[in-house]
Amino acid sequence: MAAWYDEIGKFLGSEAGAGSLAGLGLLLAQQGYKDIGDIGSQAYREMSGPDGLAQELRGMLEFQPYTVTTATGGQFGMQQDPTTGQMAYQMQMSPEEQAIQQQLLSQAQQMYGQAAMPTADREQEVFQRMMTAMSPEQERERLALEQRLAAQGRLGTQTAQFGGTPEGLTLAKAQEEARNTAMLNAMQFAGQEQMQQAQLGQGMLSGSYIPQAQLIAGLQPGMTGAEQRRASLSEQAKTYGETYATGLEALLQAGLGQAGIAGGFGTQLAGSALGGLFKKEP
Amino acid sequence: MAQELKSINLVAPAFKGINTEDSPLAQDPSFAEVADNAVIDKRGRIAARKGHSVITTNKTALGSGTIRAIKEFDRSVGSNVILSVGNNKIFTGTTTLTDATPGGYTITADNWKIVNFNDKAYLFQASQAPLVYDGSSVVRLDSVAGAAGVVQGNEVLSAFGRLWVTGVSSNPSVVYWSDLLIGHDYSGGTSGSIDISKVWPDGYDEIVALAAHNGLLIIFGKHSIITYSGAEAPATMALADTVAGVGCVDRDTVQYTGTDVLFLAHTGLKSFGRTVQEKSLPISSLSGNITKDIIGALQAENTFFRSVYSPEEGFYLLTFVGQNITYCFDVRGTLENGSYRVTRWLSTGFSSYTREENGDLLIGTINGISQYTGYEDNGATYRFKYYSPSLTFGDSSRIKILKKLKPTLVGANNAAVFIKWAYDFKGTYATAEFTVGDQITGYYSDSEYTTVEFTGGALTNQRSLNTTGYGTSVVVGLEADIKGSQLSLQEINVMALIGKLL
């Protein structure tokens, strides 16, 4: 029995059928092309579009404000300005730490101030204290000499060679040497004291930053926890994105396959139809 | 029955000098009540002093003035020069007094102290710029090259290699010393000064004189004495001793006797005789037999004191120039009471002295410069006097009737001698006069065919003089005008009858 498909075959073997087939093939190819473009648009929309994966991931990876509080009451907080988006962090020590810091800073300033002062007045002050300490003994020595000279009847002695008596000159020289030594020692002491004040100032200045440094040091564990959380979120977003992208990619690959099949079939069909139509009869 | 004639022999009468301190009745006849123009001679007898022979022949520069100070300038090269002062001038020379006063330099007083020091002579007196004589001219000390800090002191001492000056009117308790061997520098080198106003034992005094003896610097105050040891280095010299209550009257009474330092204190002549032995200053009194007389003399003196020590003559002369009195202390030994034997020279006109290096004693007078020599005072006679203390012959209750006086004199050639006696402290003396003959010493072989007798040296003369009167105590005296010959009183033999009890 000649079946309907024989009829179809015959029709297709005709020129009209061939033309129809070619047209159909071209339509299929066009449809395949169009589908591929749609798939690209969808991929773009799904990945980078306003509600796409990128937007979603951005939201997932957005900064999370946090605050770290140390055991001594110091706090470190980090947040983003909702308007400007500018990041800001705040560090605040406890009142006790602030008081210590203020005190140390004040003292450091005082020490630096003293260290920067001219030493002349201090030298004189130290010298006077040294002379005050030495003066009783010097007075005893002077009185002893005076008594000795009086006993020897020499109190009124004046000489061109010694000024007074040789003993008087010796004592005066000794006292003057002691005075000079005291003066030099006072100068040396004042210099050392100035250096010591500078060192103390430096130490106090350094000490004044210890609460802050300790606050920063105390932030480390908190910051580590926050970083871990941020890393976890990042990993989560990454995984989400990768999964999303994988599914989307599979979808797109399927669409691309379909479009390719349709396009190939249409192209072949059109080629075959057009080939039979334009074949010369022997 | 005739009474026995009692003989009392006054052997070497007055060989202990004058004694006006003890009671005349209780006195040893060896003392004298008066011994004027006398000395104790080499035999221990009282004798007439020597006279003075004026050397100066040209005293034009002196004018009517008197030589107030004499000093022999000893220099290492060339002849020594005699420096003298008077009539507000400085003189050199002896026969002719050459005015050496610096030109333009006005002298207002003649109380100079002159010392030799390091080949120069230095002249100091109060309130007058010091002068220096280097053998050629006298110049102001402050005009000498290198002179510095020269002070106008009244006393100067050359000792321990320096000049020591004191008696500055504005600083009466300060002693200044010059640089070593530099007499014109008082403010450089090792010069200096010491104010002893806080050292005086009585709290206050003023320096009068300085002396150096036995390694000590002796500072005489008016009524204190201070001695310093170690004055060779004045800056470290130390007080050695102080004496309160005894001082020096005048710087010109201080004399060195080699082993002692004599000075006139307000209570008489003193010395440091025992200082060296006892290391302290128990001042011995050397004028203990005439204490009141000498105190009276020094209180009455208003001109100058002058003194000299002559080892050749063995005496220390102390002259009260204003009163024209000189006390002659025999320094050859002391009496039992520690006093020197002393005689008195009156109206000599001696106004200054110095002993030359050769031992000659030069005397300043109104006639210029004299030498202590011979037995005439510039050609004039002078009277030797001796009066015994009151003699009681061992019993003051009985009357003594002098019968004879037999003096034995040594020398006294051609001298008119007056023997005097008085009774019972009356000042009226009976006198017997005799003249010692012309006693020319004749020596065997030399004088064999001349008219002189052969003698053994100085002639002695014994006379026996009848006396009159009576009394319980007797004073015997002898006076003689000395004119060219020495006179010593060997002894006086008093022949007396001891009468009844009164």
- pLDDT attached to residue B457: 60
Is B192 close to A153, i.e. CB distance below 8 A? no
Phi, psi values for residue B175, rounded to 5°: -110, 130
Q: How far apart are the first and last CA of chain B?
A: 20
Question: In chain A, which residues have their Cβ closer than 8 Å to the Cβ of B198?
Answer: 150, 155-156
- Any idea what the Cα angle at residue B119 is, between residues B116 and B125, rounded to 5°? 35
State pLDDT tens for residues B70-81: 999 998 888 899
What is the distance in angstroms between the Cα of B264 and the nearest Cα belonging to chain A?
A: 25
Reduce the DSSP state of residue B9 to 3 states and report it.
strand
Per-residue tokens: B221 = 């105050």
Average pLDDT over residues A56-73: 80
In a domain, B476, yes or no: yes
In a domain, B111, yes or no: no
Contacts of A238 (CB under 8 A, 6+ apart): none
> Does residue A109 carry a pLDDT above 60?
yes
Q: How many domains does chain B have?
A: 1
pTM equals: 0.77
Q: Does A163 touch chain B (CB under 8 A)?
A: no
Cα separation, B210 vs B167, in Å, equals 10
Whole domain around residue B471: which residue ranges? Answer: 5-34+41-48+384-501
Mean pLDDT of A209-227: 81
- Compute the half-sphere exposure of residue B21: CA atoms within 13 Å on the CB side of its CA: 18
Around Cβ A176, how many Cβ atoms within 10 Å? 11
SS3 A249: helix
Contacts of A153 in chain B (CB under 8 A): 194, 196, 199, 226, 228, 238-239, 242
pLDDT at position A280 is 55
Q: How sure is the predictor about A242, in pLDDT bands with cuts at 50, 70 and 90?
A: confident
Write the pLDDT tens digit of every residue in B99-113. Answer: 999 999 999 999 999
Chain B CB within 8 Å of residue A59 CB? no
Q: So what's the pLDDT on residue B276? A: 42
- By the 8 A CB rule, do A234 and A61 touch? yes
Identity (one letter) of the amino acid at B351?
A: S
Instruction: Tell me which residue of A165, B348, B313, B226 sits closest to A173, measured CA to CA.
Output: A165
User: A162 to chain B, minimum CA–CA distance in Å?
Assistant: 8
Mean pLDDT of chain A: 85
Query: Average of pLDDT values for A200-213?
Result: 90
* Contact yes or no for B236 and A162 at CB 8 A: no
| 3-state SS class at B393 | coil
Q: How confident is the model at residue A174 (pLDDT cuts 50, 70, 90)?
A: very high
- Please tell me the distance from the alpha carbon of residue A156 to that of residue A178, in angstroms, as a whole number: 25
User: Region A49-69: what's the mean pLDDT?
Assistant: 79
According to the model, what pLDDT value does residue B279 have?
44
Q: Comparing A2 with B410, which gets the higher pLDDT?
A: B410
Cα separations in angstroms, B406 against A87, B7, B413, B476:
156, 10, 18, 11
CB atoms within 10 A of CB B2: 5
Residue type, B34: V
Contact A100, A92 (CB under 8 A): no
Reported confidence tier of residue A76, pLDDT bands at 50, 70, 90: confident
Q: Would an 8 Å CB–CB cutoff place A152 in contact with chain B? A: yes
DSSP code of B173? T
More confident residue, A126 or A240: A126
Ranges of chain B with pLDDT below 70:
1-3, 25-26, 273-284, 439-458, 502
Q: Which residues of B touch A154 (CB under 8 A)?
A: 194, 236-239
Residue A219 has pLDDT above 80, yes or no: no
Please indicate if any CB of chain B lies within 8 Å of the CB of A162: yes
Provide the pLDDT for residue A128.
94
The pLDDT score that the predictor gives to residue B394 is 78
Enumerate the domain spans of chain A: 95-219, 229-282
Angle at B252 between CA B247 and CA B254, to 5 degrees: 55
Mutation to test the A interface, candidates B196, B216, B219, B243, most A Cβ within 10 Å: B196
Domain of B413, CATH number, reads: 2.60.120.260
How far from A275 is each of A16, A31, A260, A263, CA to CA, in Å?
13, 22, 22, 18
Q: Which residues contact B430 (CB under 8 A, 6 or more apart)?
A: B420, B421, B422, B467, B468, B469
CA distance A164 to chain B (A): 8
Whether B500 contacts chain A with CB within 8 A: no
Residue A228, CB-side half-sphere exposure with 13 Å CA sphere: 6
Rounded to the nearest angstrom, the gap between the alpha carbon of residue B307 and the centroid of all alpha carbons in its chain is 5
Residue A49's pLDDT band, with cuts at 50, 70 and 90, is confident
Contact A156 B195 (CB under 8 A): yes
